[in-house]
Structure 1
Amino acid sequence: MPREQKLLSDIDDQASLRFQVPLIKFYQYEPSMEGKDPAEVIREALAQTLVCYYPFAGRLREGANGKLIVDCTGEGVMFIKADTDVTLEQFGEPLRHPFPCFDELLYNIPSSEGMLNCALLLIQVTRLKCGGFIFALRLNHVMSDGAGLAQFLFALGEMARGVTTHLISPIWERHLLDARHPALIIFTHREYDEMEAPVTTPITIFPFDNLIQHFFSFGFAEVSLLRSLLPPYLRCCTTFELITACLWSCRTLAINLDPDEEVRMLCVVNARSKFNPSFPSGYYRNVFVFPAAITTVKSLREKPLGYAVELIKQAKASVIEEYVKSVAALMVARGKRIHFPHVIGTYIVSDFTKAGLEDIDFGWGKAVFGGPMIAVGFISFLMPTKNKKGEVGSVASICLPAQ
């Protein structure tokens, strides 16, 4: 592995991405793999994969003006082998959140979850009594988004199955998402309003303590019913846009804010397809932005569901290549510490239904479930799920104060 230092891009290096993302995948027993230890197979494949993805084996340092740097030290990632005396079936059918024994399926090694001088990946393989296993992972988000993580995990699966060359070669190329010089902010980025002029309308700070997490399922029947509530010209919206609008509206009702308070949905947009020429497929770091759909509590409460859908579609449509460059310029001009408004009216739904995490095969076939483990503050995750009939749906996580 080269011993070098790699700067993060101006998109990676923002305060809003400085947190850990936990992921979990369940695999069933595969007779053809009898006698093989999934933990050892994955551990050996991980060592091989890190030869190409060597920045993951380094540590974050802080440079001038707080700029994060990956010091490619080759110190490695953390890997845990575990055993349990339960079977996959005991986790329920179909598999869905919340999963019991969460803390044991992804053990938090003391002092491992920091930003600086800590491992960038933590992986735990828990072998089940039935011959299946659970693969859990914790990623430092500044290193990669969902699409980039999927690329890394697919490469890991290839190595575990004996494929000697990666289908997609990883590239760093941070300059693709660095601000131009001089930095030009050509869009109004209301997703980072907390650092803007003083707010004149009431605001309620997000209470990060004593939160309760809950999960809601959206199958074919629920999605069809929601879609029937829309005017005909909006019924072609994506399922993600529809569910996001529903969650935003219901969450706004639940938190019971002042009618004049602003609420905002920060729409997660993968910007890879927005670049011309097209963005290189091997780039495995953060390539997404958060254009804001903004309205008042009163408007969201009193207007039909289609109103929220339209706001979300308009926000997503605003993202072009220049928008992404403008976000990078904002990070440089205002300092890397700017972040999303930490008010309860801010909400994000991140879509993992198309990430393909359940398709990653270590030799035991595809996962029977794959997705993030938990909601994080005002961030919800939408994950794929299947019922007993094999029908595909979605499950959404949400965190709110108990009341």
Structure 2
Amino acid sequence: MDSNPKMKMNITITKSSIIPPSKTISESPKQLWTSNLDLVVGRIHILTVYFYRPNGSSNFFDPNAMKKALADVLVSFYPMAGRLGRDESGRIVINCNGEGVLFVEAESDSSLDDFGEFTPSPEFRRLTPTVDYSGDISSYPLFFAQVLALIRSDLLAQIHEI
């Protein structure tokens, strides 16, 4: 099947939530240094897109189950629930403040078949939420996920992390 470069997707965000860790760990450090490599590369989110077809389960990609699982895993991976900041010397650090990650639920009238052979196109970029990097580095989550329900119950999951 050929891809359709002229395809236009209508994407509607139905809900956005900040998901904090399900519990706090008192022994966790308050700040973590970023690596030297992290200091020289740009601070942008890495965008990853996954496509899934329904598996027949009634709770296939249930947003509430996904949010609970995300909150539970953030207990072990607590830095991902933090924000970037600067220490007293100005070095970029991860503030392990447990503010949470962004979880976005969206829907579209497109179907998985509309993507054809998945040839990269400007339309693919529309599958991922945009981030406003004009604010302070502490103003956006390190990690966010968007789950996009497509027509005929196909599902698209996008994971974004710094």
The one-letter amino acid paired with 1:23 is: T
Measured on the aligned residues, the alpha-carbon RMSD in Å equals: 2.5
Name stretches of at least 5 consecutive residues in structure 2 with no aligned partner: 1-23
Number of residue pairs the alignment of both structures matches: 137
TM-aligned CA deviation for residue 46 of structure 1: 0.8
Sequence identity (%)? 25
Larger Rg: 1
The one-letter amino acid paired with 1:24 is: V
The one-letter amino acid paired with 2:33 is: L
SS at match of 1:100: helix
User: Where does structure 1 differ by over 4 angstroms across 4 or more consecutive aligned residues?
Assistant: 109-114
The equivalences for 1:266-305 within 5 A come to none
Matched, 1:85 2:103: no
Measure, in 1, the Cα distance between the counterparts of 2:125 and 2:146: 12
The one-letter amino acid paired with 1:124 is: Q
Matched, 1:108 2:130: yes
Matched, 1:72 2:93: no
2:144 matched residue in structure 1:
122
Contact 2:51-2:157 at 8 Å conserved across structures: yes
- TM (norm. structure 2) is 0.71
2:68 matched residue in structure 1:
44
The equivalences for 1:44-193 within 5 A come to 44-92=68-116, 94-98=117-121, 100=123, 102-103=125-126, 105-108=127-130, 110=132, 115-140=137-162
Contact 1:56-1:120 at 8 Å conserved across structures: yes
Measure, in 1, the Cα distance between the counterparts of 2:38 and 2:103: 26
Contact 2:34-2:93 at 8 Å conserved across structures: no
1:37/1:13 CA distance change after superposition, 3 Å? closer
Measure, in 2, the Cα distance between the counterparts of 1:114 and 1:130: 40
**Structure richer in strand, relative to its length:** 2
Which of 34, 37, 49 in structure 1 is aligned with 2:58? 34
- TM (norm. structure 1) is 0.31
TM-aligned CA deviation for residue 43 of structure 1: 2.0
Name stretches of at least 5 consecutive residues in structure 1 with no aligned partner: 141-403
1:2/1:12 CA distance change after superposition, 3 Å? farther
1:100/1:122 CA distance change after superposition, 3 Å? same
Contact 1:38-1:127 at 8 Å conserved across structures: no
TM-aligned CA deviation for residue 68 of structure 1: 1.7
Measure, in 2, the Cα distance between the counterparts of 1:45 and 1:39: 10
Contact 1:77-1:120 at 8 Å conserved across structures: yes
